[in-house]
Structure 1
Amino acid sequence: MLTKTASMSQADAAYCRVEEMIVTRVLAPGQMISEKRLSDDLGCGRTPLREALQRLKLEGYVEIHASRGILVAPIDVVRQLDLLEVRRSLEDLMVRLGAERASSSEREHLRALADDLEAAGQAGDQTAYLRLNRAVHHALACVSHNDMLASTIAVIHGQSRRFWYSQVEGRGLFEQAAHLHGATLRAVADGSIEAASRHAAAFLDFLETLTRNALERRAVHARS
């Protein structure tokens, strides 16, 4: 059943739910699904669902085929490296602006998110980590107080979450990621511009290593 907050439209709620289903592979890469079945599963109308699907199509999550249905887009490791190249510059700008511009209440919220994210990482709770990771991305984008930056990086963050969830295994990686991300959150909350930039770069180095390892595994598999 679709749930939404008072400030969230049905289309926004449908978008969030379907995106989460794709990221967590409830809807697997390459899977075909009908609009009717998805509407029934979510308990929402076809009109808000279609609006959500168009947004997901623009962001590269799905392909819409009039005669066949909705295709969940495959995960492209090479494309993930391209995304990380773009993300580095935008992420650096985002955390620098956030460290400079965040309000007192926003800084406290970032510290609370860091605590919660690290707790989820230590517990190896993938579902909690995923949802907190999304909240972290949203919070960091918001404290930049730059709407254009926030809307641009949101698409990249979403695709990064999807790739991350498809690759990560074991509590150790969750703990490492939570520690790196938590350090960035705390640096932004403390107003430490250079530290925020440094910690964000370290986190992206971690993601790039994960991506290149996945690419190498794919190459080995292709040769075998």
Structure 2
Amino acid sequence: MNNSLSVNDTPKPEMVNAPEQLLTDVAFNQIEEMIITRQLAPGSMISEVQLSVELGMGRTPIREALQRLRQIGFVEMLPRRGTLVSGIDIRQQLELLEVRRPLEELMVRCATLRATPEERMHLQELAQRMIKAAEEENMSDWIRVGREIHEAEVLATHNSMLITSMQSIHAQSRRFWYFHIGHNRAYVEGAQLHANVLNAIAKTDRDGAVSAAHELMQFVERLTRSALDTF
């Protein structure tokens, strides 16, 4: 485990009495972010004990969160060795895009049709926050808003099967983006493309949302192929 993590020996008070499912969700989100931001680097072994101390919770929600992260390909469980942070496979990202493209279009179509007024307002707020984070070069906020955008978009479809399908795809995409997008400052362009999708959904502009999603996917594929050239 990366020694740069700041370890706090005192459990966070708000976590002590939280329901176990909430603790698992919190652990999942925080460990996912630690992997995405490379606080937990690819190829490193994860210590459940240290994570338990760092996050201020017992080992059960940590273990359950790691199982969820295994399901989306962020970690590997090695017999008699422990939990390993998975590497990033660029070619696998291209395969992922083949799956993501049609699902992304379906997602924005459904969201444009079914989003509630409150969800549409929230999408517009997220668009503004992502652009702000990009302009300020705040990659931590950028990646957190990116997660919120992915969650809000797919929840607005009100389709449980689509929600489940997109969770792993979006998580893998966020991890790849954080590692590669900061090197070429493409996060500013990426933020605007995301905002175009969100604003079109908010305005119930189905054709505009589909077109914006297509442009976003073109951008993601271009970025992925450029990263492939560096390996």
TM-score by length of 2: 0.89
2:142 counterpart residue number: 129
Q: What is the rounded CA distance, in whole Å, between the counterparts of 1:37 and 1:108 in structure 2?
A: 40
**Paired residue for 1:163, among 176, 186, 189?**
176
1:221 counterpart residue number: none
Q: What is the rounded CA distance, in whole Å, between the counterparts of 1:127 and 1:34 in structure 2?
A: 23
Q: What is the rounded CA distance, in whole Å, between the counterparts of 2:67 and 2:79 in structure 1?
A: 13
**Paired residue for 1:142, among 134, 152, 155?**
155
**Paired residue for 1:97, among 99, 110, 121?**
110
* Post-superposition offset of 1:66: 3.7
Gap regions ≥5 residues in structure 2: 1-10
RMSD (Å) for aligned C-alpha atoms = 1.7
**Paired residue for 1:32, among 39, 45, 49?**
45
2:120 counterpart residue number: 107
Write the deviation string for residues 74-118 of structure 1: whole angstroms up to 9, x where unpaired.
000000111111111111000001111111111111111111111
Q: Which amino acid aligns with 2:67?
A: Q
* Post-superposition offset of 1:62: 0.4
Q: How many residues align?
A: 217
1:204 counterpart residue number: 217
Gap regions ≥5 residues in structure 1: 219-224
Q: What is the rounded CA distance, in whole Å, between the counterparts of 1:63 and 1:81 in structure 2?
A: 21
Q: What is the rounded CA distance, in whole Å, between the counterparts of 1:108 and 1:17 in structure 2?
A: 26
Runs (4+) off by over 4 Å = 1-4
2:98 counterpart residue number: 85
Q: What is the rounded CA distance, in whole Å, between the counterparts of 1:125 and 1:99 in structure 2?
A: 29
Assess, with a 3 A threshold, how the Cα gap between structure 1 residues 65 and 40 changes in structure 2: closer, same or farther.
farther
- The answer as to 2:59 corresponding to 1:46 is yes
Aligned residues of 1:35 and 1:69 also touching (Cα < 8 A)? no
Write the deviation string for residues 129-154 of structure 1: whole angstroms up to 9, x where unpaired.
10001000000001101011011101
Q: Which amino acid aligns with 1:65?
A: L
Aligned residues of 1:23 and 1:162 also touching (Cα < 8 A)? yes
Identity within the alignment, %: 44
- 3-state SS, counterpart of residue 71 of structure 1: strand
